[in-house]
Amino acid sequence: MYFDWTILLMLPGLLLGLWAQARVNSAYAKYSQVGTRSGVSAETAVSQLLRQNGAGDVAIQATSGQLTDHYDPTSNTLRLSQGVYGSSSIAALGIAAHEAGHALQKAQNYPFLSLRSLMVPVVNFGSKLSWPIFLAGILFSFEPLMYAGIIAFALVVLFSLVTLPVEFDASRRAVAMLNAGGFLTQEEETGVRKVLNAAALTYVASFVSALLQLLRLIAILNRRRR
Ligand SMILES: [Zn+2]
């Protein structure tokens, strides 16, 4: 029986991804139940922090879902999920400040964020078409198409690599802002870091998965040439 061993390359990324997601869920479950001493809601805290850091023009809205918090650079809007927006928990403040960190990156033209935004259209193309192009190359035994598929997917890998400094920097800014604003005790800061580190791990897992998938494409190409 024929077995495609290259599929095993996907396993470590998959396991890392599941582990990271489990850590996010457990950190969120724990720290969304622990209130901060300041008692200020995440929405109030970030609107103050954004103003203090020269980004008072950022709109803040509530959005549906759990852990759907994000900053939208096109409309310069920070959207906070229901469990975060009005909450004064450690998790809520950490998550909201992380998204505010992205808003500050935009306001200050943080280079990796600009690079990431530039890459979005190319990466959308790459993630949709890399496998179809590669498979067409296999089907027609036409190597240039296989190479094209690999290059398209390499852009996806590069994108998830560029995402890492953007995410780590947003978390660093979050902790610094919250501390400077006097929103956290030392103990609360530890909780914020745990939530944000777990979230960062999911981005590391995405990068590792993408990298292994790229190696898989290269392995399939090499196998066909032998
Ligand atoms: Zn982020």
**Distance from Cα 29 to the centre of ligand 1, integer Å:** 19
Helix (H, G, I), strand (E, B) or coil at 63: strand
Map out the domains of the chain as residue ranges: 5-225
**Distance from Cα 26 to the centre of ligand 1, integer Å:** 18
- Confidence (pTM): 0.92
pLDDT at residue 20 above 60? Answer: yes
**Distance from Cα 72 to the centre of ligand 1, integer Å:** 11
Q: Where are the alpha helices (DSSP H) in the chain?
A: 10-31, 42-52, 82-85, 90-107, 111-139, 143-180, 186-225
Query: What pLDDT, in 10s, does the model give residues 88-130?
Result: 999 999 999 999 999 999 999 999 999 999 999 989 999 999 9
pLDDT, average across residues 44-69:
95
pLDDT at residue 1 above 50? Answer: no
Sign of CA dihedral 17, 208, 65, 70: positive
pLDDT value at residue 2: 61
List Cβ neighbours of 5 (8 Å cut-off, separation of 6 or more).
none
In which band, very low, low, confident or very high, does the pLDDT at 29 lie, cut at 50, 70 and 90?
Answer: very high
pLDDT value at residue 182: 94
pLDDT value at residue 4: 82
